[in-house]
Structure 1
């Protein structure tokens, strides 16, 4: 049994390590074109949006409540507020909205 678990752990290690190592080996000393650099720089934002957006729609039984919080966060972020101000501002607006809507 322990040999099977060890084989699984080694297999998972290789499957995880190889895709992370290959770009370093293949692109060592090379620079990607600016088009690809621009795309790759936006991948974390797209991934974060894809992970967060479904949660926004299921956050509250009233979807408008969640969308107001999202709009507040977008406006704060668009004006240049840092992430802490954006999150706390959106929470504050939703808190005020929930107090007055009761």
Structure 2
């Protein structure tokens, strides 16, 4: 059972690396001139982030075992991210909120 989980994790990491790496390398190999289209440039810039969110966000709600604490941590992360706080601040604050909510429940 555990090897199946490890196998799935390795496959997910490989696919994520492939999906995020190809859009960044493909323009370098195919196009010799600088890409001037704002649409294509923004697509290539945001694709890795979109893939990462699509793969991890659904697991946020089941990671704590309690939907209320998961929603509290997610809301905290969203609010702090909106105010442009750093990654460490957002992550540590969300973890702290989840911990406090779990203690209260």
Pair in the same fold by TM > 0.5? yes
**What is the TM-score when the length of structure 2 is the normalising length?**
0.68
RMSD: 2.1
Runs of 4+ residues deviating >2 angstroms: 19-25
How many residues align? The count is 84
Residues in 2 aligned to 1:90 and 1:25: alpha-carbon distance in whole angstroms: 40
Which structure has more RCO (C-alpha within 8 Å, separation ≥ 6)? 2
Gaps of 5+ in 2: 1-17
Gaps of 5+ in 1: 1-15
Aligned twin of 2:12: none
Spell out, residue by residue over 1:28-77, the C-alpha distance to the aligned partner (whole angstroms, 9 max, x if none): 12424111111221112211111111211221332222121111111111
Residues in 2 aligned to 1:71 and 1:22: alpha-carbon distance in whole angstroms: 36
Greater Cα offset, 23-32 or 72-81: 23-32
- The structure with the largest alpha-carbon Rg is 1
